[in-house]
Amino acid sequence: MHTDHDTQSLQWPQDIYDVLQDAHVTQVAYVPDAGHSALIKSCQANPQMHTISLTSEEEGVAMLAGSWLGGARGVLLMQSSGVGNCINMLSLFQECRLPLLMIVTMRGVWGEFNPWQVPMGSSTADALTTAGVSVHSVEQAHDIRQTVYAASQLAFNTYRPVAVLIQQRVIGFKNWSK
């Protein structure tokens, strides 16, 4: 059971989709995730966007480097538990000065029920920052559009890796105690 959401919090996937379209993102790499499901469906419905389901997040990091070198902008959608899989690959973006936009749904923090999510969830921002990624965190749904826009501008205009962490309060949490 998810926590109740207001209308604005249900709008955030559409806000991200709109920003991705405005930023001319055509490559969408993702590991299937319930938190990103509405956004993934919107991207799949757009014939101008190529969605690629990954088996592991680091595949998306490599794929988006190739996409950029081929002239296309992309985004990596993942859950915080997948960030640890990307750490070694992120050096590619630092050394080659390539842009990378990551949208990360957080687990293991506010209201988490699964203890396996806690270690990576509590260290996601620190791990990304240590790897040289500019990290922006969103606690409220109404801040998502502006934050993702700013992150896309930073990534694509300065050729840097940037991550937006969508906190668990925005996506909701599963309550298995009822």
The domain 7-171 having CATH identifier 3.90.76.10: the answer here is no
β-sheet bridge partners, residue 52: 29
What pLDDT is attached to residue 19? 97
What pLDDT is attached to residue 5? 46
Regions in the chain scoring below 50 on pLDDT: 1-8
Whose tokens are 């300065």? That residue is 158
Task: Calculate the CA dihedral of residues 59, 147, 93, 21 and round it to 10 degrees.
Answer: 60
What pLDDT is attached to residue 3? 44
CB of 63 closer than 8 Å to CB of 98: no
What pLDDT is attached to residue 7? 44
**Would you kindly state where each structural domain of the chain is located, as residue ranges?**
7-171
SS3 content of the chain, % helix, strand, coil (to 5): 50, 20, 30
CA distance linking residue 156 with residue 65, whole number of Å: 12
pLDDT tens readout for residues 116-159:
665 666 678 898 999 999 999 999 999 999 999 999 999 999 99
Output the DSSP codes for 27-88.
EEEE---GGGHHHHHHHHH-TT-EEEE-SSHHHHHHHHHHHHHTT-EEEEEEEGGGHHHHTT
